[in-house]
Chain A
Amino acid sequence: MNESIKLIFDKSAKEDILEFLNKKLDDNGFIVEKDQPFQKVLTFEGEEISIKELGGIQKGSEVFIKNDLISLMRFSKR
């Protein structure tokens, strides 16, 4: 596979992307499991994440990535 072919998403499509992955939002805008709405998804640092903070997703129990500079700096060193 050509590694330089990337799939990315615009922030306008965030909720749809979450739906593709069986996730949804709770009343406070935090990302939760669709089938278990009391279970919030976590970032690679074990933090809850809101849709506003969503920067990306990686497989490996679906790790969610926050979009702020410090989170991305830490992520870039993994």
Chain B
Amino acid sequence: MGWFEKFKEKFSKPFNINLENISVSLFRINIIKDNNNKSIIIHNDSNNLSLNLANLPSQYKKELSEIVRDYLDEKNILLENNTNDLLIKLYQYNKECSDKAILNFFKLIMNLKDYEALEASLFLRKEFRSGIISGKPIINLKADIRKRFGDRGNNIANLCTAGYFEQFLMQLYNDAQKEVYNQIYEEIVNNSIVAVFVHTNMTEDEIPEQITNKINISKRYGIKFIHIHGIGKMNILKIKKCIEQEKKYFSFFDKKIYETENIIIVELIFN
């Protein structure tokens, strides 16, 4: 008897759940623990059922433990619900392969850690742009990249989001000598010299300071631009305030500003 047949046998009648002829494309049984809820919760969309361990009688907990073991024995993967959602998205991403060209290009020239950081960043970028994941989950997932690969991984994530890999680094690799490319690449991913990514914890004073530092390094490699990136209303405001207050400083650059409701990119070109 399969795990679901066992589940139906043990739980349908006692809890008055109709599990026959399930015709939806996906039916989930979610195991939860909530003292403030009843033992079985049938959700309105009929695609979901929650089993609440906090109020499930002990004999049914025992039955459920066997069902969980059977579920695993049948080669299923038992996942936490957020992990399940993320893994589904990753399978979909792997299947669609929309970033195949970028990944194939850099796979040949990057070390494995950088490549993994890039791949994860491209996935995040795709999800962010499609609006499927936003807000806190993006911050947490990006934190996973930083946790695994440090500041370098974090830089790769920022540079990837801003399109530097396909819009700048690919071209650079094709145009420059390998040694020059490697030196610039290392400066970019270690110190993100071509961009200042303004974040929540960065003060307005730090922005021109970072720009100056990065320009000094960029000039050594013949790079004559720098970008200031901000995502979110607070960061956009911070950048605009900085440009307004430091007019004299910014007057030395040719300046272009690209702005949408939620993103600002300031391009500074210098000699």
Contact = CB atoms under 8 A, between A and B. Distances in A.
Contacts of B86: 67, 69, 72
Contacts of B53: 13, 16
Interface string B69-103: 10111111111111110110011001000000000
A46 to B, nearest CB: 16
What is the size category of the interface that chain B forms with chain A? 35 or more
A58 to B, nearest CB: 5
Contacts of B28: 5-8
Nearest to B119: A73
A17 B81 contact: no
Interface of B is mostly: helix
A61 to B, nearest CB: 11
Nearest to B23: A2
B34 interface: yes
Interface of A is mostly: mixed
A67 B61 CA distance: 25
B124 interface: yes
A55 B33 CA distance: 16
Nearest to B73: A59
Contacts of A58: 72, 77-78
B263 interface: no
Nearest to B123: A73
A5 B72 contact: no
Interface string A1-12: 110111111111
Interface string B104-133: 000000000000100110011000000000
B65 interface: yes
Nearest to B86: A72
A9 B81 contact: yes
Interface in B32-73: 32-34, 50, 53, 61, 64-65, 67-69, 71-73
Contact of A9 (B27, B78, B87, B120): B78
Nearest to A74: B116
A5 B4 contact: yes
A58 B27 CA distance: 20
B78 A69 contact: no
A65 interface: yes
A54 B78 CA distance: 11
A75 B147 CA distance: 18
B264 to A, nearest CB: 26
Interface in B4-34: 4, 22, 24-34
A75 B27 CA distance: 23
A57 B120 contact: no
Given A6-B26, A73-B123, 5 more contacts: A5-B29, A7-B68, A7-B71, A8-B29, A62-B72
28 contacts: A1-B4, A4-B27, A5-B4, A5-B22, A8-B81, A9-B32, A10-B31, A10-B33, A11-B81, A12-B33, A13-B53, A14-B80, A17-B68, A20-B65, A20-B69, A21-B68, A21-B69, A54-B80, A59-B72, A59-B73, A67-B80, A69-B86, A69-B123, A70-B116, A70-B149, A72-B90, A73-B90, A76-B94
Interface of A: 1-2, 4-14, 16-17, 19-21, 54-59, 62, 65, 67-70, 72-77
